[in-house]
Structure 1
Amino acid sequence: MITEKRRQLILHQVQIQTIVNIHDLMQLTNTSASTIRRDLDELEQQHLLCRVHGGAKALDLTLQMEPKVAQREQLHIFQKQAIAQCAANLVQDDDVIFLDSGTTTRAMIPHLSRYHQLLVLTNGVDTASCLAEAQIRTIVLGGQLRNSTKAVVGQSITDYLNNCHLDRAFMGTNGFDFQAGYTTPDPEESAVKRLAIRQAKKAYVLTDASKYQQIRFSKFADLSAATLITDQLPRSVSNQLAQLTQIMEV
């Protein structure tokens, strides 16, 4: 098994189980204990997990903590790609869409070049760069840059969005929960997401299933405000969510 795929499997298990041991990871990846230890050491250096005796555990995230972009890009890569492709298939020619600064929404970009006269609005610096490389018409919303997420926020963005009409808005989220809805650590990013959803004819939240029951500081929407595009959830959870909103599982 190649190193990248093995480490993705390890991170996925840590997210699901919170604590994992080396023996179980050896069986999961069919590799030696020394290889697993090297993987865990490297992932800890990247601040993606925390080493403990005999294994590793998930990082403890508070309501206001948010992993940096480089860290988030390493999590659930295969799920993000599938979710992003599903979301991109919903776009149509001549659409005006909003992409936020999330890593999953950014993964949509390779699938957007086929659309004619597409216009994308974004508050993500990295997202804007990828759109430019793909030669997709883009409006970059200006304001104050948040270093941790490479998202631009502030009053100038909300003023601009208030005068825009969007066909579709695609959002990432740091967590979703039946009671708390969709949440993110930063209130200013939350305000941009909330307004983009309001200004769009159709809104979508893209997130892998590991974010279920994760709650962060600032709520930006009820579950009913957007279609949820995710990977496989437990059947009981999907059935409950389907009573509140539309779900697309990949």
Structure 2
Amino acid sequence: MLPKERRRWIELEIMNQGKVDIEKLSKQLNVSAMTIRRDLAELEKEGKVVRIYGGAIYPKSLIQETPYIEKKGKNIRQKKAIARRALEFIPKRANIILDSGTTTMEMAKLLKDREDLTIITNDIKIAAKLTESRLKLIVTGGELQNNVGTLYGWPTQEFLKNIHADIFFLGAHAVDIESGVTAPTFEKSFIKRLMIQAAETTWLLADSSKFNQKAFSFVCDLSILEGIITDSGLSKEEKNRYEDYVTICSVYGD
């Protein structure tokens, strides 16, 4: 098969499947993984695929960044229930990293009356909510993402490389069995990975609308999570599939 024919075959496979894996393509087409990587790089230049960790996905299947004002009212009942459940995993006098997001904001609202915790966050809206609390509050610093409220960039990165926390509560844009946890931008996924590395354990907070979705940039595999706290919107079959890879804590009565 000529390179042009092979790339067309890969393009059609991604359009049909939504996602391809480098190792599988290598075996199917009887070429090296490096050849597949070059093919995917060429297809990405043409705007036909988006490369992700270990493979590529179809661009139209990606979840895009959502401004804070648009997402803060979505699935609010479920997010409140997830936040209440998450509090059960916080020991006394813990150092906690709260990721940016609307579900972690619901956690912040519930934590503001505590006095024994240290909260670290890169979300200025969460920081503002906790300003008048008696918690020890640490803001990462960095460049502000307008309309979202997230801090990122090298100051954020350097800060996270030099701290240690007990628990990280990770927010999600998209969760998928094969693609893992993904985020809309490389910068955002890199910050999340640094937070994971800084914490002893990581819990993912994700309402059921985030499942079976993919975003642009890889954050982590499901296997590195302590578990996922979600609402009862997953079907029994979906929950069973995910539980082959990670503990699922479903909130009922949400």
**Which whole-Å CA distance do the structure 1 matches of 2:61 and 2:141 have between them?**
29
**Which whole-Å CA distance do the structure 2 matches of 1:115 and 1:224 have between them?**
31
**Which whole-Å CA distance do the structure 1 matches of 2:136 and 2:219 have between them?**
27
Indicate the residue corresponding to 1:125 in structure 2. 124
**Larger deviation: 104-113 or 94-103?**
104-113
**Which whole-Å CA distance do the structure 2 matches of 1:198 and 1:245 have between them?**
18
Provide the TM-score with structure 1 as the length reference: 0.72
**Which whole-Å CA distance do the structure 2 matches of 1:214 and 1:64 have between them?**
7
Residue aligned with 1:224, SS: helix
Q: Does 1:242 align with 2:240?
A: no
Indicate the residue corresponding to 2:159 in structure 1. 160
Q: How far off is 1:62 after superposition?
A: 6.4
**Which whole-Å CA distance do the structure 2 matches of 1:135 and 1:89 have between them?**
20
**Which whole-Å CA distance do the structure 2 matches of 1:116 and 1:203 have between them?**
22
**Which whole-Å CA distance do the structure 2 matches of 1:63 and 1:148 have between them?**
20
Indicate the residue corresponding to 2:24 in structure 1. none
**Which whole-Å CA distance do the structure 1 matches of 2:113 and 2:143 have between them?**
32
Answer whether contact 2:83 2:107 (CA < 8 A) is retained: yes
Paired residue total: 191
Indicate the residue corresponding to 1:183 in structure 2. 182
Alignment of 1:1-250 (within 5 A): 63=62, 65-226=64-225, 227-232=227-232, 233-250=234-251
Answer whether contact 1:81 1:104 (CA < 8 A) is retained: yes
Indicate the residue corresponding to 1:19 in structure 2. none
Residue aligned with 2:91, SS: coil
For 1:106, give the aligned amino acid: M
Report which of the two structures shows the higher radius of gyration computed on alpha carbons. Answer: 2
Provide the TM-score with structure 2 as the length reference: 0.71
Q: How far off is 1:235 after superposition?
A: 0.8
Residue aligned with 1:134, SS: coil
Answer whether contact 1:172 1:206 (CA < 8 A) is retained: yes
**Which whole-Å CA distance do the structure 2 matches of 1:169 and 1:111 have between them?**
16
**Which whole-Å CA distance do the structure 2 matches of 1:67 and 1:111 have between them?**
24
Gaps of 5+ in 1: 1-60
**Which whole-Å CA distance do the structure 2 matches of 1:216 and 1:148 have between them?**
19
Answer whether contact 1:93 1:115 (CA < 8 A) is retained: no
CA deviation map 1:191-215 (0-9, x unaligned): 1111111221110111110111111
For 1:95, give the aligned amino acid: A
Residue aligned with 2:168, SS: strand
Gaps of 5+ in 2: 1-59
Answer whether contact 1:197 1:225 (CA < 8 A) is retained: no
Q: Against the structure 1 CA distance between its residues 113 and 146, is the aligned structure 2 distance closer, same or farther, given a 3 Å change threshold? A: closer
Answer whether contact 1:76 1:208 (CA < 8 A) is retained: yes
CA RMSD in angstroms, aligned pairs only: 1.7
The percentage of counterpart residues that share the same residue type is 35
Residue aligned with 1:205, SS: strand
**Which whole-Å CA distance do the structure 2 matches of 1:110 and 1:155 have between them?**
28
